[in-house]
Chains A and B, each alone.
Chain A
Amino acid sequence: MSVAPLGQRAPILHMREIDKTFTGGVVALRRMSLEVNEGDFISLLGPSGCGKSTALRLIAGLMPPTLGRIEWEGGQGAGDLGVVFQEPTLMPWATVEQNVWLPFRLRGQSLASVREKIVEALALVGLEKFAKSYPRELSGGMKMRVSIARALVTRPRLILMDEPFAALDEITRQKLNDDLLSLKAKTGATVIFVTHSVFESVFLSDRILVMAARPGRVIREFQIDAPYPRGMEWRTAKEYGEIARETSDTLHGALAPEAAE
């Protein structure tokens, strides 16, 4: 699926001036505004405590913002949102197929009636042969793929990923990053991806929001025009290095005063 160039995409979600203050007075997020457009691959990049996971939880509707509004263009329907957590978060008592079935099952749809969609989602992550396996029989990377298949299966308008590959080894992580991009190319999915890895964010995204802590806030947005599909040639491109450098500098610039304390 082709995606319109940056700046010409239809919006699907608006975050307007979001503040989130926890009881006890911790300002997790201050004045975060974000327009998510169809086909965007947005990375929220920052150190721990910068509110990137809070932002994700707000978008997921797991808690309300203290101030500001989050609006879905045309309202949010069931299955509009897919989520991938840092852990695979599979039900160990259910087979791979039953795990991917969950979003449909909760809407009262039988396994038989959505089997085609499940098979398709599993094929997208290369696990169609493991439909009947139990999670314990799979490796860490494979479990993560099941988790991604579950997030994709409803063809959501937006997929939220909260440091999904942080716990995996470097080789598996790179492979999954490659696969994630080819998935995005096939499905045209819109993704918000939380990470603390500069290289991962530059490799994957066309928009990077660099965030800083205390209070959690967005300090700068980078747009990356490099076309998809991206592969090894992008990892070794001169522009990749330059953006990574600049992103890194921005991150460390925000950290500096604290380091001096």
Chain B
Amino acid sequence: MTIADTTELPARSDAGQGPVFDADEERRARKKRIEGIAKYVIPLAVMSIAIWYWDRIVVWNEIEPYILPRPGLVLQTLIEDWGTLSASLLITLQITGLALGVAVIGGVGLAIIFSLSRYAEMSFSPFAVILQVTPIVSIAPLIFIYIESRMVGLLLCAWIVAFFPILANTTLGLKSADHNLRDLMTIYRANRWQRLRYLQLPSALPYFLGGLKIAGGLALIGAVVAEYVAGTGGIGTGLAFRILEAGYRLQIPRMFAALILIAVTGVIIYATTSLIAHLALRKWHESALKRD
């Protein structure tokens, strides 16, 4: 009697055939390929269907354009009113961009001060928290009372909303440096500045970039919301005012057109900040690494 399995294995020819995969591996590879294509096709398809369905709803129910315009009409309005809308878009972009820029400088600067002095953090972080948790709509009217320049008021509102995530994330990042590396800095007698430059700032970079992604979107929201509160028209008005104005005049297609511009702007800001984060971290940080 023998224990060995005597079943004949099928003859195998390895000569010059290249790698051989089993059915399971091939199924996996196929699935991966399909997923790679689906990643782009499915969102586009679903979005197209949604827009088509929107169009059909209007047609089927005979909805008037001043209640719900067809997507084609919105697009048409976007093109026809491009002169007015693009000028407003530019204003909104300026406020958003400036507010984000000042938020980066202010947030990182304050975070560095916090990391240098615990007492500074104890003294000022309550203010930062209060500003953050109070809804901007409720602070904005006061701001526009005290600040004469409408532009500066808008900027201040957008800044208040955008700066906190940068401050909070960067503060956390500056504290999160590896403790052994901190010891190493002590052993090699690094001064405060070197410690910040060579250890804390690079450690904080991924945290800061996470904050930047959030702040980018918030700056846009801040700019739009503040303009709703500020109200008054005239020259130099942003997209939010265009929406209000179109609403008063029952120009619903124009409301939609302005809304689309705001949404697209938000997406572009998010994509840009994500790209910045990816480029800055791709060489070393876990979040940017591909698993193989």
Interface residues of A (CB under 8 A from B): 57, 60-62, 78-79, 81, 83, 85, 87, 89, 91-94, 102-103, 105-107, 134-136
CA A78 – CA B184 in complex, angstroms?
A: 13
A-B contact pairs, 7 of them (CB 8 A): A78-B189, A93-B283, A93-B284, A102-B188, A106-B188, A134-B283, A136-B284
A89 adjacent to B178 (CB under 8 Å): yes
Closest to B178 in A: A89
CA A83 – CA B183 in complex, angstroms?
A: 10
A89 adjacent to B181 (CB under 8 Å): yes
Interface residues of B (CB under 8 A from A): 178, 180-181, 183-190, 194, 198-199, 202, 205, 283-285, 289
Q: Which among B185, B187, B189, B202 has the greatest number of chain A C-beta atoms within 10 A?
A: B187
| The 9 nearest A-B residue pairs measured at CB | A89-B180, A85-B180, A93-B202, A92-B284, A106-B188, A106-B190, A93-B284, A103-B188, A134-B284
| Residues of chain A with a CB closer than 8 A to B283's CB | 93, 134
| Residues of chain B with a CB closer than 8 A to A93's CB | 202, 205, 283-285
**CB proximity of A136 to chain B, nearest CB, Å:** 6
B284 adjacent to A106 (CB under 8 Å): no
**CB proximity of A87 to chain B, nearest CB, Å:** 6
CA A79 – CA B283 in complex, angstroms?
A: 30
CA A87 – CA B180 in complex, angstroms?
A: 8
| Residues of chain A with a CB closer than 8 A to B184's CB | 83, 85, 89, 102
A106 adjacent to B194 (CB under 8 Å): yes
With A78-B189, A83-B183 given, can you name 18 additional A-B contacts, CB distance below 8 Å?
A: A61-B186, A61-B187, A78-B188, A81-B187, A83-B187, A85-B180, A85-B184, A89-B178, A89-B180, A89-B184, A91-B202, A92-B285, A93-B205, A102-B188, A103-B188, A105-B198, A134-B283, A136-B289
A106 adjacent to B198 (CB under 8 Å): yes
CA A147 – CA B285 in complex, angstroms?
A: 19
**CB proximity of B289 to chain A, nearest CB, Å:** 7
| Residues of chain B with a CB closer than 8 A to A135's CB | 284
| Residues of chain A with a CB closer than 8 A to B198's CB | 91, 102, 105-106
CA A244 – CA B234 in complex, angstroms?
A: 89
CA A60 – CA B285 in complex, angstroms?
A: 30
**CB proximity of A21 to chain B, nearest CB, Å:** 21
Interface of A (DSSP majority class): loop
| Residues of chain A with a CB closer than 8 A to B190's CB | 106
| Residues of chain B with a CB closer than 8 A to A85's CB | 180, 183-184
| Residues of chain B with a CB closer than 8 A to A89's CB | 178, 180-181, 184
Neighbour of B189 across the interface among A91, A106, A136, CB < 8 A: A106
Closest to B205 in A: A93
CA A93 – CA B282 in complex, angstroms?
A: 10
CA A83 – CA B186 in complex, angstroms?
A: 11
Known: A105-B198, A106-B198. A62 touches B183 (CB 8 A): yes
**CB proximity of A216 to chain B, nearest CB, Å:** 20
CA A61 – CA B186 in complex, angstroms?
A: 8
Known: A83-B187, A103-B188, A106-B188. A91 touches B205 (CB 8 A): no
A62 adjacent to B187 (CB under 8 Å): yes
Closest to B185 in A: A106
CA A105 – CA B202 in complex, angstroms?
A: 15
| Residues of chain A with a CB closer than 8 A to B188's CB | 78-79, 102-103, 106-107
**CB proximity of A239 to chain B, nearest CB, Å:** 36
| Residues of chain B with a CB closer than 8 A to A60's CB | 183, 187
Q: Which among A91, A103, A135 has the greatest number of chain B C-beta atoms within 10 A?
A: A91
| Residues of chain A with a CB closer than 8 A to B183's CB | 57, 60, 62, 83, 85
Neighbour of A62 across the interface among B186, B194, B202, B285, CB < 8 A: B186
CA A89 – CA B181 in complex, angstroms?
A: 6
CA A186 – CA B256 in complex, angstroms?
A: 76
| Residues of chain B with a CB closer than 8 A to A62's CB | 183, 186-187
CA A106 – CA B193 in complex, angstroms?
A: 10
A91 adjacent to B180 (CB under 8 Å): no
CA A134 – CA B289 in complex, angstroms?
A: 12
Closest to A57 in B: B183
**CB proximity of B224 to chain A, nearest CB, Å:** 36
